[in-house]
Amino acid sequence: MAFTTYSAEFQKEKTARSQGHELHVSPRHCVEICRELRGRSLVEAKSHLEAITKMKTPVPFKRHSSGVGHRAGMRGWDAGRYPQKAAREILTVVRNAEANAEYQGLDTERMLVVHCLARSGRVTEGRMPRAMGRATAKNTDTVTVEIVLQELTNGD
C-alpha cells in the first residue's frame, strides 16, 4: 500500500482531513455517496451515513444510474440504492476526520465537509479455477476515499 497525497490543498489551521486507503468497496457506490456528502455539515453527514446503513435513506444514483431501480423518499431524482458497505467504510473515514479535528482543537459542531472524493485504488488480481484446467480472472477493485472538514468562521 503506497501513500497517496491529497488531491486538493487547504488551510491547515482551519481544516482536518482523513483518508481511507484501498477500501474493499465499490468505487461507483463511493462516488455517489461522496457527491451526496459534499457541502454538508459534519453532523448531517454522519446522520446521513448512519441512515444509509440502516436503509432509511436511499442514495440517489445520478452518474452510475444504468439499471438502478427507483426508490421512494427521494426528491428530484428517482434512481437510487442503499450502499450499506460503502457507507460504513466512509463513516469510519468521517469519524477519523472528526477525531483529527478534535485533536487540532477545532470546534466539531461547526465543521463542514468541503472536500469529499473517491478514486479507484489498486486492483487486487485473483484467479478462479474453471473446467478443463482453465482459469478466469477474479479481480477485486479497491477505492481510496479522502475527506476534508473545514471549520466555519463567523463570516462564512
- The three-state DSSP-derived secondary structure of 48-98 is HHHHHHCCCCCEECCCCCCCCCECCCCCCCCEEECCHHHHHHHHHHHHHHH
Containing domain of residue 91, as a range?
15-151
C-alpha cell of residue 149: 472538514
Number of folded domains in the chain? 1
Q: How far apart are CA 156 and CA 133, in angstroms?
A: 64
The total number of residues written for the chain in this structure: 156
Pairing outcome for strands 15-23 and 143-151: antiparallel
φ and ψ of 87, to 5 deg: -65, -40
CA quadruple 143, 104, 156, 11: dihedral sign: negative
Find the mean pLDDT for residues 33-45: 95
Q: Classify residue 37: in a domain, yes or no.
A: yes
pLDDT at 29 (0 to 100): 95
Q: Classify residue 3: in a domain, yes or no.
A: no
Residue 2 pLDDT > 80: no
Q: Classify residue 10: in a domain, yes or no.
A: no
Q: Classify residue 92: in a domain, yes or no.
A: yes
Q: Give me the CATH number covering residue 90.
A: 3.90.470.10
> Can you spell out the DSSP letters for 98-114?
HHHHHHHT--GGGEEEE
**Helix 84-104 / helix 42-53 crossing angle, nearest 10 deg:** 150
Instruction: Quick: pLDDT tens for 51-110.
Output: 999 999 999 998 888 888 888 878 888 899 999 999 999 999 999 999 999 999 999 999
Residue 39 pLDDT > 90: yes
Q: How far apart are CA 143 and CA 24, in angstroms?
A: 7
Q: Classify residue 110: in a domain, yes or no.
A: yes
HSE-CB at 74 with a 13 A cutoff on CA atoms is 20
